[in-house]
A and B are shown apart, each in its own frame.
Chain A
Amino acid sequence: MMNRRRFLRGVGGATLALPFLGSLRPRTVGAEVGPKQVYSFFIRQGNGVQQGGYSDEPERFWPRELGALTKTDLETNNSDRTLSILADHAEKLTFVRGTRFGFPGNGCGHSGGLNQCLTARPVTGEGKDTLATGESVDWFIARKLGVEPLTLMSGPQSAYLAHGLSYSGPSQLRGARNNPLAVYASLMNVGASPDLLLQIASRRKSVNDLVRVEMQELLANPALSASDRQRLDMHFQAIRDLEVGMACELPAASVQGMQELADIFEENEQRIKVADYMLELTAMAFACDATRTGTLQIGTGNDQTRYYVDGVLQNTFHRISHRIDGDGDEGEPIPNADLLHHGIDKIFANIFKRFLDRLAAYAGPGGGSLLDDSVVIWTNDLSNGPPHSYSNVPQILAGGAGGALKTGQYLDAGNVTHNKLFNTIISAVGIKNDDGTPVEFGDPSLEPGMIDAMLA
């Protein structure tokens, strides 16, 4: 497990002088947010996955049996299935089949799916230009926690169907950042110049040093009551937490790598690398408590990326997912398209696995790993290949949300609308209505409730 102490290495390698370090871990002093500190993240793959149910294509995605997930079972009995790639984290995983989108797509399955994917709302408008009619789950969670979500993408900003995942309100589509270096700079709250970074850090240090002296003098006052003291101590802790957060940084190799991508991050060849950097940044942001939720859209709306499968640059993912060499209804069949689709699914599974590796390597505020205090999901805006169905959308979750979720299982939700999945996640994150009742996220016309089998 990566030691948090590495985050105390300040800018320029100097260790920040931090007195009163009872614990090196930032702890939540924001008790008003909820008793727990839980991180959530939503990763979206497009074009569905290759799974059983269409034509005579065999099942290559889900494990063979519902029930408990173990590393051994995934690696042996299910080694031919996409999800076996996640075997290392078997105990922290929840595979959910049997969720569907509640609304039709208005003429374009991709656009309709993308817009519903995290909103569980009907779409407005037609064809590829539809918009969601409500906020997405990341913005809902962020609003409740008083943070701003990370809104990230790997892919070009402008395309036939570009970003469409994250909504701050009805039709309020949020732009997604797609340059990892810019995201890094923004997380560090500065421009990209290292000199400026150093200057700002030094100013903050000088201010914090002074405020710390003021706080110490206040705390030394013998007349303070226990509650006065508790209040000031919370403040003191908050300053320290932020200093720890301020010192969060990525390894030089990663920064160097992001710098090398600075002009080519939209290119086809960089799709996976950019996605990996975005998730590395997300893990860092969570470890530093810079934010607590966010989204990553990999590929455009109908992902036109040409991925490498078996070392060969393939046709676009969109065409492979339709099994024909055309973006419309007609085209020559692509040979072995189902296998190529399966190959691309495995690429996404590996991206997700590397993200889980990172989260598992950080210490989490709950005493275990950061993954234990998170609930992250690899979802899709469609279910499968050619039919591009909205039923049985693959929902692959990891992390126990600080003990709220029962992990290590593969379950069938029973063909329910996927708002129930979000209700479950929102509850696991610790958010309730003001009156203590569970949140009903998404469109009011959808059947309310959670997926009870997911709860611990």
Chain B
Amino acid sequence: MRRLLTITILLFALGCGNDVDLEPAGMSERFPRLTHPQWESTVKDLFHLPVETGLSAGFTPDPQLGRFDNNIARLGISSGLWRDYQRAAETVAESVVADPAVYAGLVPEPTDARTFVTTFGQRAFRRPLEEAETARFVALFEGAAALFPDQEPFAAGVRLVVQSMLQSPFFLYRAELATGGGFAGTPLGGYEIASRLSYLLWNSMPDDELFAAARAGDLGSAGGVRAQAERMFEDPRTRAQIRRFHFQAFKVGEYRDLDKNAALFPDWRPELGPMYQEEASRFLESIIVNDGGVAEILTSTKAYVNADLARVYDVPGVVGDEYQEVTLDGATRAGFLTRVGFLARNATLRDPDPIHRGVFINLDVLCRTIAAPPDLPEDLELVGDTNRERITSITGEGTCGAGCHHATINPLGFAFENYDAIGAYRTTDNGFPVDSAATYQFADGRTITFTDAVDLSQQLAKSPEAHACYAKQLLEFVVGRDTTRQDQRLIKDLAQRSLDDGLSIKEIVFGIVTSRAFLMRTDVIGGAP
């Protein structure tokens, strides 16, 4: 215990000392397990299958811990999951040798056990095999014929080795075994960096070119890593990852299942939910792919709409189901927070929901923590002509909600009273003019006053908090764990450049993948941080 304490203090002191001008590498664990989607895409790429196997649909699901599905806290293993892996490995191995095309891709020409083990093993383990490992799998291969008496002997060997490697910890985990280095961190090996990159940008194993770069030692420098990241960014799989990130960070995944009061919103139908989702995804993707930054996410008027969405946005001239790029009215829309998906998700069946809109912005745009709500009093009675008045009557000044709601949550939510429960723009509520003006106080005491959501979005785009929050979430997604004190310097630096120089999100990603948090590891001493 004393030793642990000393080392922790030392680390801390080093991290804060003036003589260390590099940010310390983030604490990381050595064995992040593949997520179920990663298992699928990896098996698909490993065997060059035309489509994913779908076997992971039956896997024991991971618990919802942390913000993202790749958070290491989720990625444990249980007897049930091990059984799932075992069965899936057996099924894959059986089908691989039964499918001539797949088998030919695996064993292109007459070869021997050793060549197969080393070539396939390098791809399955995402690194070259050690000699002892090769010997072990060759022995397994050679004993396979007796265990598969109905199989041609070489195919039997392939089958057993495949079945076995798919159950190996080196396949199931992205094992990071690099050692050496001091308190400042241990540089990861080239193959370890290759896996980090490919699972970040593609959610799958490295391709041949990335393996070649690892083999050639190109990933030993930040420049070499950046070159690969730039190449990989152009692959469609990166777009899918951008979606995956925002589905989770901005809850875009929840737009799919929206429900609204049909009497109040005659145009509403459940099919609009997936369209709201698609619009949000295309919007965010376009910003990232076109070198946009955090400010654009909060202010851009560019949108991708089909006829149905155009009707909600009141954009003329769009017909058909195809999505096309349009520019929204800058007086009524600015960025992600004024898009129909965010607005409709944070609304009830009939009314806007300023509380949840305000909570989302605090938690997910500004990364401001909000204390858990107290138990609701029993005598809550909504009073007022407008939605804002009714919400204020139960959470405003003079109520028990004055602390959190009145000061922190409601002002941000009220800015969006111009958008109804399906996200359409409105100037009146129940016949009364909408009041969307408010004042918000940041955690550090600064205040901003705004007239409406467009004004608010533009002011948020200039706040350090919004830039830091996006960078923090991105870092969490990249490293697959909650951020720690060691990560603060990197977050702060990226956020500053994002705010001051309009650093693009793509560049923030490149900044992260060339940082020490990504290229090095600091051993977790004595347990989880």
A residues with a Cβ closer than 8 A to B are 26, 28-33, 146-147, 189, 199, 202-204, 206-207, 210-211, 213-215, 218, 221, 223-228, 231-232, 234-235, 237-239, 241-242, 245, 289, 434
Pair A30/B81 contact, Cβ less than 8 Å: yes
How far, in angstroms, from A237 to B79 measured CA to CA in the complex?
8
B275 nearest CB across to chain A (Å):
26
Pair B79/A203 contact, Cβ less than 8 Å: no
Residue from A28, A32, A214 within 8 A of B62 (CB atoms): A32
Provide a sorted-by-A list of 24 A–B residue pairs whose CB atoms are within 8 angstroms: A26-B79, A29-B76, A29-B77, A30-B78, A30-B81, A31-B76, A32-B62, A146-B59, A206-B160, A207-B89, A211-B168, A214-B133, A214-B169, A218-B169, A221-B177, A223-B179, A225-B524, A225-B525, A227-B29, A227-B524, A228-B30, A232-B169, A237-B79, A245-B79
Contacts of A237 in B (CB 8 A): 79
* Interface membership of B134, Cβ < 8 A: no
A232-B169, A235-B82 given; A227·B77 CB < 8 A: no
Pair B526/A218 contact, Cβ less than 8 Å: no
A225-B524, A231-B76 given; A238·B168 CB < 8 A: no
Pair B168/A214 contact, Cβ less than 8 Å: yes
Contacts of A234 in B (CB 8 A): 76-78
How far, in angstroms, from A225 to B160 measured CA to CA in the complex?
32
Contacts of A224 in B (CB 8 A): 30
A317 nearest CB across to chain B (Å):
38
Contacts of A228 in B (CB 8 A): 29-31, 524
* Interface membership of B63, Cβ < 8 A: yes
Residue from B29, B140, B527 within 8 A of A206 (CB atoms): B140
Pair B147/A206 contact, Cβ less than 8 Å: yes
Contacts of A211 in B (CB 8 A): 164, 167-169
Pair A235/B169 contact, Cβ less than 8 Å: yes
Residue from B64, B136, B179 within 8 A of A213 (CB atoms): B136
* Interface membership of B87, Cβ < 8 A: yes
A221-B177, A223-B179, A225-B525 given; A30·B80 CB < 8 A: yes
Contacts of B76 in A (CB 8 A): 29-32, 231, 234
Contacts of A231 in B (CB 8 A): 29, 31, 76-77
* Interface membership of B523, Cβ < 8 A: yes
Pair B77/A214 contact, Cβ less than 8 Å: no
Contacts of B149 in A (CB 8 A): 199
Pair A227/B528 contact, Cβ less than 8 Å: yes
* Interface membership of B395, Cβ < 8 A: no
Across the two chains, which residue of chain B brings its CB closest to A224? B30
A226-B526, A232-B31 given; A28·B79 CB < 8 A: yes
A30-B81, A146-B61, A238-B77 given; A203·B147 CB < 8 A: yes
Residue from A215, A218, A232, A238 within 8 A of B79 (CB atoms): A238
Across the two chains, which residue of chain B brings its CB closest to A202? B147
Pair A225/B523 contact, Cβ less than 8 Å: yes
Max count, chain A CB within 10 A of own CB: residue among B76, B136, B170, B177: B76
Contacts of B74 in A (CB 8 A): 32
Contacts of B160 in A (CB 8 A): 203, 206-207
* Interface membership of B42, Cβ < 8 A: no
Pair B523/A215 contact, Cβ less than 8 Å: no
Contacts of B133 in A (CB 8 A): 214
B169 nearest CB across to chain A (Å):
6
Pair B163/A238 contact, Cβ less than 8 Å: no
How far, in angstroms, from A227 to B149 measured CA to CA in the complex?
42
Residue from B29, B79, B87, B167 within 8 A of A30 (CB atoms): B79
Pair A227/B78 contact, Cβ less than 8 Å: no
Contacts of B163 in A (CB 8 A): 203, 207
> What 1/0 flags go to B15-43 for Cβ under 8 Å of A?
00000000000000111000000000000
Contacts of A147 in B (CB 8 A): 60, 80
Across the two chains, which residue of chain A brings its CB closest to B130? A217
Which of chain B's residues 283-306 have a Cβ closer than 8 Å to chain A? none
A223-B179, A225-B525, A227-B524 given; A207·B164 CB < 8 A: yes
* Interface membership of B232, Cβ < 8 A: no
* Interface membership of B143, Cβ < 8 A: yes
B138 nearest CB across to chain A (Å):
11
Across the two chains, which residue of chain A brings its CB closest to B180? A223
* Interface membership of B438, Cβ < 8 A: no
Across the two chains, which residue of chain B brings its CB closest to A213? B136
* Interface membership of B175, Cβ < 8 A: yes
A175 nearest CB across to chain B (Å):
18
* Interface membership of B463, Cβ < 8 A: no
A434 nearest CB across to chain B (Å):
7
Contacts of A189 in B (CB 8 A): 87
Contacts of B167 in A (CB 8 A): 207, 211
Pair B31/A226 contact, Cβ less than 8 Å: no
Which of chain B's residues 156-215 have a Cβ closer than 8 Å to chain A? 160, 163-164, 167-170, 175, 177, 179
Instruction: Known A-B contacts: A32-B74, A204-B86. Give 9 more (CB < 8 A).
Output: A32-B63, A32-B76, A146-B59, A147-B80, A206-B164, A225-B523, A226-B528, A235-B82, A238-B79
How far, in angstroms, from A67 to B292 measured CA to CA in the complex?
71
Contacts of A241 in B (CB 8 A): 79, 82
Pair A225/B527 contact, Cβ less than 8 Å: yes
> What 1/0 flags go to B70-108 for Cβ under 8 Å of A?
000010111111110011010000000000000000000
